[in-house]
Structure 1
Amino acid sequence: MVASASTVRKRGQLSETTDLRPEPSDDNGKSKSHTPPTKDTSVIKGSHLVTIVAITVLAMFVRFYRITKPDSVVFDEVHFGGFASKYIKSKFFMDVHPPLAKMMIAATGYFAGFNGDFTFEEIGMDYIEPQVPYVSMRLLSCVLGWLLVPMAYFTLRASRCSHLTASLGALLVTFENSYTTQFRYILLDSPLVFFTALTILSWVHFQNQLWNSFSCKWWFWLFASGVSLGLTGSVKWVGLFLYATIGLCTLKQLWDLLGDLSITPSRFLKEFMARVLCLIALPGVIYTSLFQVHLMVLKESGEGNGFMSPQFRSSLRGGEIPDSLQDIAYGAKVKIHHDVINGYLHSHPHYYPTGSRQQQVTLYSHRDHHNNWIITKAEDDNSTDTNLEWVKNGDVVRLLHAVTKKRLHSHDVKAPVTDSKIHFEVSGYEWGDSNDLWRVEIYDHDRSVPESADRLIAFHSKFRLIHNKMGCALYTHNVKLPKWGSEQLEVACMREAKIPKTLWVIDTVMDDRLPEDSPKINYRKPSFMEKFLELHKVMWRVNAGLSSYHPFGSRPADWPLLWRGISFWSKNDAQVYLMGNPIIWWSTSVVLAFFFASAGILVLRRQRGYKDSVNERITELLNNGGFFSIGWALHFLPFFLMARQLFLHHYLPALYFAILLLCVAFEQLTRSIPCKLRLLLVLLICITVVYVYFLFSPLAYGTSWTKQKCRASQWRPKWDFDCNRMTDETASSAASVSTTQIPTV
């Protein structure tokens, strides 16, 4: 059968929409027609090497200048310096970010002599007197931020940009104020953007080797891309956006391979499996292994215990739970733990300020004696009968609080926080009545212990407590009580409640009437994978719950136009305020708008049948900048879906993509103009960027500033750095550290 001319691909013909299309291969697996570029721009000439070395040295001075100042805790050093202390002390803590960057900070501090005694509790705490090696710890961020400069250069060269354009990109990264500010403190953003940039560099080089599949260079850059991906995702979950970026590009590569009639099924399978191995399996192994190291180091019980289940806590040194009696009889004292949400049914001698004003009943994440309840029969809740009678499925019981002697009680009163007609208050009530009666319903049980389906057995029986009068179930959820409830979780009696949030387990039984040889039980030691999965569930829940107001919070729509910054630290007539270089931010925003508008114009022109040089120029721009534009979009647009606290620094990875795209656009748009004019244009851009950088540099370095210069620099009304604290002259007097700075997460 002869194929029609329209269905036959011509060898050597490139796709109209991409220059990365795999081409027909020879017997050795090398592409016959997708040959290496005629001019390899990634090869650096001697004179060019001198230039990039000079820019890198310049960047070193820009990044490292005044690294010793401020000599006190700045902004989120409260969190990440504190985590370093806990790593060194091996104290378990809970954080919403993966562990790599935090472990790097801790290791740097440890090798610099930090013993972990300094707590980093408040912004403004002095580093000098307690001899904290804060400079060494800051140097980690500083070095990684500095290395971003040559990486930007080499990435642009690998993207077939000229030496002049690549040098422009390196200078833009050097004189970006937000990078100078954010990349000089004990924070996670410098490692995040560094590993993001390393992934981009590796991936661009890999794409340049598509013509040479399975060669050493091809394998090296594919492997490097996978390693960098794993490291990026191990710093912050924002790294998942980079997975999506590389994933889309990989799907495009595989789609082109699948459509190439000269690619055999076995060759396609090899290409597919190589990418699965390096871009999925390898990053997954790196990510999981770093969490294993994290859990091996944090082996002591610590402040993070309250977030985790008793089973998890019992695996930590100092968090062990004593063996418990297994059998549960009327009159036994028990601790009742929620099956899904970490916490115990709890009461204390404090009263609701509204509603019934009876004693509070809450869910409390720590073990203490206020979690103890005595199970009694419905008709006689003072019974201490020595005749043991097991608590069975379907029994109606009362629960007597062991410390305050109040009974677990519910009635037709609105829950203290949740405003709903199906949520009722649960309280502690002294006088016994029918509102104290609860029916035990065993919902699930351990199949290896059959009797746990018929009667309550510690650890093995999952049960519900149904109010005997109103029919609602004892229920809890991740809603905190106000300060009058010590911010413990609300417990309510809910009708039509989802089953998981009404399930309870008894994990402690105290009963002196049972013989000494009675069977005892404890939590099974969790495996690493069980701890890994639980930790991620908690991280996800806590991260989603970071929705409270912050005075310097912002939304994604504010970021590209640099609507406002973040106050980090202030003292006397100096302050540190996260602020971008307006020229760079606004220029990248214009280029992004131009780029996506060009894509739309190309679609319309093709639909109308135009085939001219305009289409070719636009297509070339989209081909060369497509990867960076996708990276920017996937590192920016997902934030619109997030309800949690967001800040300007969340835009910094997307900004790096935007700077690279700006340079690619500059390369394409100025390619046809004379070299001298092009050089003059680059000099003009650099002079403007450097001038604006130094104009706002007091905010980056925390140097003294006059009130007049400060106010003259407030180009937008929401650039709310505090000019009122500045003096008319640069001389400053003694003053205390401002308390208006609030750490974030």
Structure 2
Amino acid sequence: MTQKEKSDIVKGPFRKFVHLNTQIFESRFSSDKLSSIGILTLCLIRIYNYKLPDVILPSEIELIDSVNAYNSGEYLETENPPLVGLLFTAISHVLGNDVVKLRLVNELFGLMSFLLLDKILKYNGVSPIVSNFGMIMILLENSLFTQFQILTTDATYLMFITFFIANNKLSKLKVITNKSWFTQTLLASIGLGLAFSSHWSGIFLLFYSFASCILELWYNSADLTISIRRTWYVFYTKLACYMIIPITIYLSTYYANFSLLTKAGESYNQLSPEFQYSLQNNHLNNTFPNVKFGSSIMLRHYQTGKYLHSHPDYYTGSGRQQVTLLDNYNDGSNIFEILTIRGVDKNLFDYNRSIGVPWRVELLHVDTNSSLVIDGDHKPPISDQEYNKLVTTDTNYKDIPEENQKSKQQFQIKISGKYCKTDESKRSLQVVNSVFQIYNERESCYLLGTPLVLSEGFSTGQNEVICITEPNYESSLWYIDWNTNGNFPEDDERISLKEYTFWDKLSEVLMRKTKKLFVGFLGYNVETHDNSIKSWMFISKGFTHYMGENGAVYLLGNFITYHLIIASIIIYGLLKIYEFCTFSPFNENEINEVNYRYEFEGFDYLLGYLMMLIPMTFVKIELHLFNYLPSLIFGILFTIQTYQWLFEKSKYLTIAIGIIVIPFIILAYYKFLPVMIMGEWTFEKCSKLMISPSWNSEVCEVYN
């Protein structure tokens, strides 16, 4: 090899231009098959020694429910996109609905992830010593190993992530725009699309892929062997592939999802009336569109989609009958009769005429024969602020003739022109199309649904309903989605809603997912989940998958590996600070090849680590340690690149560090192995290892 071939860095006329001979990286390990065989053997040994309980774990219910839904055709909506559910449904048709067999498939996906990670290290061009060190970190990572055994979307999702990273990295090693480059770019796009269609956090991976394209553009623009025209061609081609192919896969999975799930099912109550109307066995087909006095109706909260509900149980504080929000449409206690107010001659009203708005009405809870009232003398059970009023039902008010008492059960229907769906529904009360506020004049307050969950009596798990003077507008909106009346002739017209297309369904589902994941409950201050990325990075808490008589399955990462990632980030930060402080723009001959190679190979992984992790702080649902695993993969790859940088700086010092660190990694793995594989353990041994006060020490009780 000539001196020119040894040097990967050259200077340009205006600034430092760099060419990294990445073909050396690709060929360095092309004939190394022994490590892959070793990895395969170790994984098979570990899988053989691993055992899960025969029962279905709580973490596995979502994926199992998805498979059952696709087999039955009953509509189910999960937090994650439908690809993994569709994939395991197809697999179940071959293997049967045996959880043990499906877990084996999950283990196979985990094995493929380990092999792909081994490939990625080879594509990075790290030395054999560093590569072996990296695979020890990966194979002895407790959290990855545990999660690969459990039947969730995570194993499949992580496999697709590693498939994307491997092909994205390999495409950068190929001769740009030749056939092999196109093949790797296409495979990377497919892997990205499969990951994007497997898990809700796949959107972060999609954004990372765009950032990775920009980063590659920056490095290619500084390479004298690549023309500017070709540099921009590579950028736009990759960007187009990383947008078009993943989105196409994503849309295809949802098209299959909607085509298979055509019946009313478990998630039916979450859907809009139009979506419900498109499903078989829906409750809207025989509903009369025009609401009239004497109609029996169900009132649905606009923001949550839950039903105004009451039942013969009483709040402990006020002693009044409970009124809540219930998410089940098929409950007779949701039915209210809409009546004229007391003191008005009912003969003045034609029951064949729709109710004009605004209009004053009373609402009679049919099941308990009690009027819906606002009790200004008592506060709601949770929202007990001064300005909130209790919503309840009472059988006494319907018999009290005094005017000042009548107003407690009198409500004004205030139509919302912005949210109504037709012009006619703005003038008269109609099912689904009319959206309105329910206003109590006596207490000057609006009926409001909250996200607060009650925990007393029969109301446990249901949402609180209050009456408030100045509500968030959308939280105070309601509509009617079921209506019947004994005065209606049998041949009277029934409701007819618009045909819901694929795009309508997709738009609604994505809007609901986005709101749940990133927006939360607008207009109401509710305590959000503490999704602290710090607790994951420093592994200050784990996650209990299972606790039973025979042991526990506790997700807890290898805390040595977790802290090595933190150390690598600190080292990189100190390096950047040093480079900034010693920067000399007039010294054109000064460039550190080792640092540049570390930047070229490592920063991409650090970018992936941060882009998969930081957005988690904005998520509104409760997250757990397994949500950290995509970031963990990037973090481990970045740590290995940091170790390679140290290796090139000081070979023997780095080897010494590895000799010191590796035994601790092995020790941390085997010390927690019993809780991972439900092995034989004692309460004393378990308690001694629960060194963090945030770790769930309750898992040790199963060994007591």
Query: TM-score of the superposition, structure 2-length normalised?
Result: 0.85
Q: How do 1:238-277 and structure 2 match up within 5 A?
A: 238-254=201-217, 270-271=233-234, 273-277=236-240
Q: CA deviation at 1:515?
A: 3.9
Counterpart for residue 42 of structure 2? 58
The answer on 1:646 being equivalent to 2:623 is: yes
Query: What does residue range 451-530 of structure 1 map to in structure 2 within 5 Å?
Result: 451-484=424-457, 485-530=459-504
Q: TM-score, normalised by structure 1?
A: 0.81
The 5-angstrom pairing of residues 338-353 of structure 1 reads: 338-353=301-316
Give the residue type in structure 1 aligned to 2:45. F
* Offset of residue 613 of structure 1: 6.7
- 1:366 Cα deviation from its structure 2 partner: 1.4
SS at match of 1:208: coil
Question: 1:153–1:167: 8 Å Cα contact kept in structure 2?
Answer: no
1:407 aligns with 2:371: yes
Residues 578, 259 of structure 1: CA spacing in aligned structure 2 closer, same or farther, 3 A cutoff? closer
Instruction: Assess if the C-alpha contact under 8 Å between 2:516 and 2:620 holds in 1.
Output: no
Corresponding residue to 1:187 among 145, 148, 152: 152
Q: Partner amino acid for 1:60? A: L
State the match for 1:565 in structure 2.
542
Letter in 2 for 1:134: V
Given the superposition, is the C-alpha separation of residues 387 and 690 from structure 1 closer, same or farther in structure 2, using an over 3 Å criterion? closer
Q: Which residue of 1 aligns with 2:12?
A: 13
Cα distance in 2 for residues equivalent to 1:498 and 1:376: 27
Q: 1:717 to 1:609 in 2, by over 3 A?
A: farther
Partner residue of 1:284 out of 242, 247, 264: 247
Rounded Cα–Cα distance in structure 1 between residues aligned with 2:54 and 2:462: 37
Aligned residue identity for 2:118: Y
Deviates more, 1:388-397 or 1:442-451: 442-451
Q: Judging changes above 3 Å, is the alpha-carbon distance between structure 1 residues 184 and 450 closer, same or farther for their aligned structure 2 residues?
A: closer
How far apart in 1 are the matches of 2:119 and 2:28? 9
2: CA distance, partners of 1:490 / 1:18: 64
Where does residue 555 of structure 1 map in the other structure? 532
Shift of the 467–74 alpha-carbon distance from structure 1 to 2, 3 Å rule, reads closer
Within 5 A, what are the aligned runs for 1:97-246? Answer: 97-114=80-97, 133-209=98-174, 212=176, 214-246=177-209
Question: Cα distance, 1:532 vs. partner?
Answer: 2.0
- DSSP 3-state at the match of 2:42: helix
Q: Which amino acid aligns with 1:306?
A: N
Measure how far apart 1:672 and its partner are: 5.7
Tell me how far apart the structure 1 counterparts of residues 546 and 419 of structure 2 sit (CA, whole Å).
Answer: 55
Q: Give secondary structure in 2 for the equivalent of 1:671.
A: helix
| Residue number in structure 2 paired with 1:49 | 33
Tell me the percent identity.
22
- Per-residue deviation, residues 93-151 of structure 1 (Å, max 9, x unmatched): 3322222223333433342222xxxxxxxxxxxxxxxxxx2321111221111122221
Aligned to 2:417: 444
Query: By how many angstroms is 1:625 displaced?
Result: 0.9
Equivalent residues of 2:51, 2:677 under 8 A apart: no
Give, in angstroms, the shift of residue 628 of structure 1.
1.0
Find the aligned partners of 1:341 and 1:599 in 2 and give their Cα distance: 48
CA distance in 1, matches of 2:560, 2:257: 41
Deviations 1:571-604 (A, max 9, x none): 5574332232233222232222111221222222
Structure 1: gaps spanning 5 or more residues? 1-9, 20-33, 115-132, 728-745
SS of 2:152's partner is coil
Number of equivalent positions: 679
Secondary structure at the counterpart of residue 592 of structure 1: helix
Q: 1:206 to 1:429 in 2, by over 3 A?
A: same
Contact 1:233 1:239 in 2 (8 A): yes
Deviations 1:658-715 (A, max 9, x none): 221222122222236569x977876665555345433332222222135565456455
User: Alpha-carbon deviation of 1:726?
Assistant: 4.3
- Report if aligned partners of 1:165, 1:663 keep a CA contact under 8 Å in 2: yes
CA distance in 1 between counterparts of 2:380 and 2:269 reads: 24
> Given that residues 361 and 428 in structure 1 are in contact (C-alpha distance below 8 angstroms), is that contact kept between their aligned partners in structure 2?
no
Instruction: State the alpha-carbon separation in 2 of the partners of residues 112 and 376 from structure 1.
Output: 58
Describe how 1:359-374 pairs up with structure 2 within 5 A.
Answer: 360=323, 362=325, 364-374=327-337
Q: Is the 8 A contact 2:300 2:307 kept in 1?
A: yes
Q: C-alpha deviations, 1:6-52, integer Å up to 9, x for none? A: xxxx9973997996xxxxxxxxxxxxxx6853624356443x22232
Equivalence for 1:699? 675
* Bigger mean CA offset, 93-102 vs 683-692: 683-692
The 5 A counterparts of 1:288-687 are 288-355=251-318, 357-358=320-321, 360=323, 362=325, 364-380=327-343, 383=346, 388-413=352-377, 414-430=379-395, 431-432=397-398, 433-444=406-417, 450-484=423-457, 485-543=459-517, 555-571=532-548, 574-606=551-583, 616-642=593-619, 644-671=621-648, 686=662
CA-atom RMSD in angstroms: 3.7
State the alpha-carbon separation in 1 of the partners of residues 59 and 276 from structure 2: 27
3-state secondary structure, aligned to 2:133: helix
TM-aligned CA deviation for residue 626 of structure 1: 0.5
Q: Note if contact 2:325-2:463 (Cα within 8 Å) is conserved in structure 1.
A: yes
* Partners of 2:324 and 2:463 within 8 A in 1: no
